[in-house]
Amino acid sequence: MLIRTGDTVEVTTGNARGTRAKVLSVRPDDGKVVVEGVNRVYRHMKRSQKNPQGGRLSREMPISVSNVLLVCAACGKATRIGLRVGADGAKARVCKKCKADNGTVRPARAAKKAAGGATER
C-alpha cells in the first residue's frame, strides 16, 4: 500500500466525494485508511470514570484505500502513484501525471558483494 499516514488524499466516492483531507491511520491488512472528517459515525458511550458525562462521541471509521487518491505535492492534483527504482536501489513514490517524486518507500541499498552473491554472517 503506497498511501502513508500524514498524506493528503482526495476521496473519489461516497458522500464525501471531492473532499481533500489528511490520512490519520493506515490498515494495510484490511486495505483501509482512516481519513480526517470522512465516514464519521456516532459511538454511544455509557458513563464511566474515563468518560463521566457519557453520550454520543463522533469518530471517523475506515474506508477502502481504493476510494482515495493521493494529492501530489508538486502539481496539487489527485493522482495515481507509481514506483521508481533509482540507480542506487532506492525506491520512490512517483506522481503518474507530472512524474514528481512524492517520498521514498525504501532507502538506497548497500552495494552487492562480488563473487557470486555469497554472503558472510
Helix (H, G, I), strand (E, B), or coil: what is residue 67? helix
pLDDT for 65-114, tens place per residue? 999 999 998 999 999 999 999 888 889 999 999 988 888 888 888 765 55
Domains defined along the chain, listed by start: 1-45+55-71 (2.30.30.30), 80-109 (no CATH)
pLDDT digits (tens, 9 = 90+) for 13-46: 999 999 999 999 999 999 999 999 999 999 999 9
Q: Which candidate, 42, 39, 41, 37, places its Cα nearest to that of 8?
A: 37
Tell me the whole-structure pTM to 2 decimals. 0.77
